[in-house]
Chains A and B, each alone.
Chain A
Amino acid sequence: MEGSDSLDQSGSDQPESPRRRQLDRLSREEAFYQFVNNLSDEDYRLMRDNNLLGTPGEATQDELISRLQQIKDGPEQQETTPTPESGEDPTEPPEDSEDPASGDSLLDLLNTVRRTGNTTRTGHRGNQSWRAISQTNPNSGDFRFSLEISVNRNLAEQQAAAEGERETPDDTPEEPTESAPEESPEVSLEEAPVSQEVLVNAEPQVPMETEVVEEPVVEELAVVVEPEPELEEFVSQEVLEEPPSPPATVPLPVQPPLSPSPRRGQRRPRSRSPEPRRTRARTARSRSPLNLDQMDGIAYPRSAHSFQGPNTSPNNHPTPQVEGSSRTRQHVLSRQSNVDSDVQPSGADPETVPETQNVTSQEGEAAGGEGSAAGRRPPTIMLDLQVRRVRPGEYRQRDSIASRTRSRSQNSNNTFLYESERGGFRRTFSRSERAGVRTYVSTIRIPIRRISDAGLGEATSMALQSMIRQIMTGFGELGYLMDSDSDSSDSNRGANTTADLSEALNNPEAAPAAPPPAADVEEPPVAAGIRARTAETDVDEGLATGPLAPGGRARPRPPISLEEPSSLPFLRLAHFFLLNDDDEDQPQGLTKEQIDNLSMRNFGESDALKTCSVCITEYAEGNKLRKLPCSHEYHVHCIDRWLSENSTCPICRRAVLVSANRESVV
């Protein structure tokens, strides 16, 4: 279907296939321009905002038209499509139902979700209730999967939890299973030979019960992968093309119903093991409580504010000034180690895969923290995975702004938002509390640019796979932890991911990804004693590396110390994904809103002949032009793309906005 329409148009002087491809491309570009010209403003915006335009020449006109149709129909679809399935099947199946195989399985997973369209599944098992929602936007190829698991003592509560984050605070843990495991960790703490600082030890016990009990915590993790063009094709294309299968059909990945206790048992032993990391694990548990405390105290005052990422850059967390914070970190670390041991029973080489482990563990850790807390209170854990298509020209700036906006809206509810950006990686962390429910939202955006730059389909796909795998892995960890804590495994997705994750960990493939990040981060091979530190170190480094490190630190710090614990894991993950340091120099672009505010008009016949200096093409009648304040005009699609990354006029370099800073936006 490619270029079918306009081959003839472009003179084909050379039969060679590359040549031909070029020509096809050119003809498609022409078609693209025509298409864009014929779009109404509204449609144009719709498509642009949904990243459907792609780059000229990428898609044929027919494709573009169908995309437009789809996006228009989209909203309805979404509403109609969702197939709610609720069921409780405690007996959940086969652990290995999903094949943990290689990258393919991951993709399959994604595809499956996509095919499924929008689905919601809920169920509960034992004291755990879960809800998995997968949403696919067929048009854009965006896909989102979220898993929410809550562990309650009471069924009633379960329901509530499932419903949302509104749980009422629960009382102390009554469940034997859970509580038991919890305790063990503490014990281990004391036993733990090592390195844990005194602070850590002392604290954990106290805080744990106090706060935790009262507050239900909702944790939401969002990972946004922004694939660059090639990636898009890779992932989304497939998805799009596949015929949607009935949601119901899709097999839910099931976690093996493992009894929690056994798992825990496993952990402990490991943690006790001489290795420093493991030892620390104990502490982790305390972490969540601590954090909460801290958060309570500190967070509020500053809560309403968003720290801007780009400038600030990632780094606020790391600073270990406050006792509390340092503590937290340690906890985190320890948690990690637990995780690690759990996940990788095989004992993958710490050395080889350190990054991976860390990352995953961190994420898992967050979950773990919650999970451990679970024993005491009814926590709800929410996983939110989003895969979005991003138009090549469109940059994270926009998205980040969007997300920022989103979070900002929550400010009224006592939200604390933290956003950081380092290199190509952007992380947003926000916390809000209302009605006794705390919500943590952490979003990570990873432009996979470097990989895509490689430009090789194969390489790309491999890279992408590993990236996704990593992400999934992270979630998997979460799921795993949750499962182990709750000891029932209902979350289909969770299970899936878990499996993938474990695979990933063990899988050599995962390893390759690790090295690059390592380089960036310079994560020192962690010495046992240093382990606890590592987390900090990483963060700090991130700061240092980050363009604005100093500034970032200064500001956010104080408030952030609270968040740190939760955010840490993500940071880790971030590092993992930090493939590009060179992105730091990326110029900043305008937001969609800002771009839309610029005037637009249609090129009329009366206009003198002019050429768009971006594409060096003469304007044709009906072309949409955008006029910048300096009165230079360009094709809308040309200038929009430029402005999404830059803030000056391509001709005169005058700033398009007086203050083109992102600050102004916020």
Chain B
Amino acid sequence: MQRASRLKRELQMLSTEPPPGITCWQTEERIDDLRAQIVGGSDTPYEGGLFSLEIKVPERYPFEPPTIRFLTPIYHPNIDSSGRICHDALKLPPKGAWKPSLNIPSVLTSIQLLMAEPNPDDPLMADISSEFKYNKQLFMEKARKWTQEHAVQKNTGVVEGNKENNPDQKALNRKREAQQEGEESAKRSCV
């Protein structure tokens, strides 16, 4: 397995010179399960938020891309409600653009970029995407709100108060709350 040695090196890279706004660490000595956090970029609706991600490294890495998903709910055209990310670097060719010369830090960086610059033409969440395209104001507002609700630590409690959205939203919120609870502990330990 090239995976082991590569990950070792990558983790080194991540600890010695982490990309700005990104942290990544191993969970419980498991080499194939990493956690990362991305700081919401300034001038984006995600500013002030801290987004947790889960990184699963496949056996065949680096010949296969890592599987990355957001643990923190995020309102983004290319990220669905379960945190999956629509990003070509996370898929194998011919569909995707993964290549072994990419690595975890570089992929995280590109995700960071994706957060700052959504790609509405390749949407995962169609409605969010059209909102982003045609009603940016609304989109920004919502995204900011979500960030406040889910990605800003002190706001954990606020979620509770917001239940009057539509029913779907409620369900979603509940789900996310559940997720978030798990994350909170992680966040505290690492931040």
**Which A residues lie at the B interface, using CB under 8 A?**
14, 16, 18-19, 22, 25-26, 29-30, 55-58, 392-393, 453, 455, 585, 587, 613-617, 638, 641-642, 645-646, 648-651, 653
Total residue contacts A-B, CB cutoff 8 A = 73
17 A-B residue pairs with CB within 8 Å: A18-B29, A18-B30, A26-B8, A57-B2, A57-B5, A393-B60, A455-B59, A585-B92, A585-B95, A615-B62, A616-B6, A616-B9, A617-B9, A638-B100, A650-B99, A650-B100, A653-B99
B4 at the interface (CB under 8 A from A): yes
A650 to B95 alpha-carbon distance, docked (Å): 15
A16→B29 contact, CB < 8 A? yes
Query: Which of B31, B60, B100 is packed against the most chain A CB atoms within 10 Å?
Result: B100
Q: Which B residues touch A55, using CB under 8 A? A: 1-2
B63→A642 contact, CB < 8 A? yes
Interface string of B93-105 (1 = CB under 8 A from A): 1110101110100
Chain A interface, >50% SS class: loop
A650→B101 contact, CB < 8 A? yes
Q: Which A residues touch B62, using CB under 8 A? A: 614-615
A453→B59 contact, CB < 8 A? yes
A613→B8 contact, CB < 8 A? no
B4→A22 contact, CB < 8 A? yes
Q: How far is the CB of B66 from chain A (nearest CB, A)?
A: 14
Q: Using a CB-CB cutoff of 8 Å, which residues 38-67 of chain B contact chain A?
A: 59-60, 62-63
Tell me whether A22 and B2 are in contact in the complex, defined as CB-CB below 8 angstroms, given that A642-B63, A650-B101 are known contacts.
no
Q: Which A residues touch B31, using CB under 8 A? A: 22
Interface string of B14-38 (1 = CB under 8 A from A): 0000000000000001110000000
A653 to B94 alpha-carbon distance, docked (Å): 11
Q: Which B residues touch A587, using CB under 8 A? A: 92-94
Q: Which B residues touch A392, using CB under 8 A? A: 60
B99→A615 contact, CB < 8 A? no
B100→A642 contact, CB < 8 A? yes
Q: How far is the CB of B43 from chain A (nearest CB, A)?
A: 31
Q: How far is the CB of B154 from chain A (nearest CB, A)?
A: 36
B183 at the interface (CB under 8 A from A): no
Q: How far is the CB of B24 from chain A (nearest CB, A)?
A: 15
B131 at the interface (CB under 8 A from A): no
Q: How far is the CB of A29 from chain B (nearest CB, A)?
A: 5
Q: Which A residues touch B63, using CB under 8 A? A: 393, 641-642, 645
Q: How far is the CB of B86 from chain A (nearest CB, A)?
A: 16
Shortest Cβ distance from B30 into A: residue: A18
A455 to B1 alpha-carbon distance, docked (Å): 13
Q: How far is the CB of A585 from chain B (nearest CB, A)?
A: 6
Q: How far is the CB of A237 from chain B (nearest CB, A)?
A: 17
A638→B2 contact, CB < 8 A? yes
A651 to B29 alpha-carbon distance, docked (Å): 30
Q: How far is the CB of A548 from chain B (nearest CB, A)?
A: 14
B5→A26 contact, CB < 8 A? yes
Tell me whether A653 and B97 are in contact in the complex, defined as CB-CB below 8 angstroms, given that A14-B29, A55-B1, A587-B92 are known contacts.
yes
Q: Using a CB-CB cutoff of 8 Å, which residues 122-157 of chain B contact chain A?
A: none
B10 at the interface (CB under 8 A from A): yes
Q: How far is the CB of B64 from chain A (nearest CB, A)?
A: 9
A616→B92 contact, CB < 8 A? no
Q: Which A residues touch B94, using CB under 8 A? A: 585, 587
Q: Which A residues touch B95, using CB under 8 A? A: 585
A14 to B9 alpha-carbon distance, docked (Å): 17
Task: For the complex, count residues of B whose C-beta is within 8 A of A.
Answer: 24
Closest 9 CB pairs of A and B: A613-B101, A650-B99, A614-B100, A650-B101, A650-B100, A616-B9, A651-B101, A587-B93, A29-B5
Q: Which B residues touch A453, using CB under 8 A? A: 59
B4→A615 contact, CB < 8 A? no
Tell me whether A614 and B5 are in contact in the complex, defined as CB-CB below 8 angstroms, given that A455-B59, A641-B63 are known contacts.
no
Q: Which A residues touch B97, using CB under 8 A? A: 653
Shortest Cβ distance from A614 into B: residue: B100
A56→B92 contact, CB < 8 A? no
Shortest Cβ distance from B62 into A: residue: A614
Contact with A615, one of B6, B59, B93 (Cβ below 8 angstroms): B6
Q: How far is the CB of B65 from chain A (nearest CB, A)?
A: 12
Shortest Cβ distance from B28 into A: residue: A18
B100→A29 contact, CB < 8 A? no
A617 to B5 alpha-carbon distance, docked (Å): 9
Q: Which A residues touch B59, using CB under 8 A? A: 453, 455
A648 to B63 alpha-carbon distance, docked (Å): 12
Q: How far is the CB of B130 from chain A (nearest CB, A)?
A: 28
Q: Which B residues touch A616, using CB under 8 A? A: 6, 9-10, 103
Q: Which A residues touch B2, using CB under 8 A? A: 29, 55-57, 614-615, 638
B6→A648 contact, CB < 8 A? no
Query: Which of B1, B5, B93, B103 is packed against the most chain A CB atoms within 10 Å?
Result: B5
Beyond the given A57-B2, A393-B63, A614-B62, please list 8 additional residue pairs across the A-B interface where CB-CB is below 8 A.
A19-B29, A25-B4, A56-B5, A57-B1, A57-B4, A614-B100, A616-B6, A653-B99
A26 to B97 alpha-carbon distance, docked (Å): 28
B1→A651 contact, CB < 8 A? no
B101→A614 contact, CB < 8 A? yes
Shortest Cβ distance from B103 into A: residue: A616
Q: Which A residues touch B103, using CB under 8 A? A: 616
A100 to B74 alpha-carbon distance, docked (Å): 57
A218 to B10 alpha-carbon distance, docked (Å): 56
Q: How far is the CB of B14 from chain A (nearest CB, A)?
A: 12
A30 to B4 alpha-carbon distance, docked (Å): 11
Shortest Cβ distance from B60 into A: residue: A392
A131 to B25 alpha-carbon distance, docked (Å): 60
Q: Which B residues touch A613, using CB under 8 A? A: 100-101
A29→B101 contact, CB < 8 A? no
A587 to B60 alpha-carbon distance, docked (Å): 14
Q: Which B residues touch A30, using CB under 8 A? A: 5
Shortest Cβ distance from A21 into B: residue: B4
A393 to B61 alpha-carbon distance, docked (Å): 11
Q: How far is the CB of A63 from chain B (nearest CB, A)?
A: 15
A651→B5 contact, CB < 8 A? no
Contact with B93, one of A26, A638, A648 (Cβ below 8 angstroms): A648
A55 to B33 alpha-carbon distance, docked (Å): 21
Query: Which of B1, B10, B29, B60 is packed against the most chain A CB atoms within 10 Å?
Result: B1
Q: Which B residues touch A642, using CB under 8 A? A: 63, 100
Q: Which B residues touch A585, using CB under 8 A? A: 92, 94-95
Shortest Cβ distance from A588 into B: residue: B94
A455 to B9 alpha-carbon distance, docked (Å): 24
Q: How far is the CB of A234 from chain B (nearest CB, A)?
A: 15
Shortest Cβ distance from A585 into B: residue: B95
Q: How far is the CB of A94 from chain B (nearest CB, A)?
A: 45
Shortest Cβ distance from B10 into A: residue: A616
A642 to B95 alpha-carbon distance, docked (Å): 16
Query: Which of A57, A613, A616 is packed against the most chain B CB atoms within 10 Å?
Result: A616
Q: How far is the CB of B57 from chain A (nearest CB, A)?
A: 13
Shortest Cβ distance from A30 into B: residue: B5
Q: Which B residues touch A641, using CB under 8 A? A: 63
B93→A25 contact, CB < 8 A? no
Q: Using a CB-CB cutoff of 8 Å, which residues 73-94 of chain B contact chain A?
A: 92-94
Shortest Cβ distance from B95 into A: residue: A585
Q: Which B residues touch A645, using CB under 8 A? A: 63
Contact with A26, one of B4, B60, B99 (Cβ below 8 angstroms): B4
A177 to B20 alpha-carbon distance, docked (Å): 84
Q: Which B residues touch A617, using CB under 8 A? A: 5, 9
Q: How far is the CB of A36 from chain B (nearest CB, A)?
A: 12
Query: Which of B29, B30, B59, B92 is packed against the most chain A CB atoms within 10 Å?
Result: B59
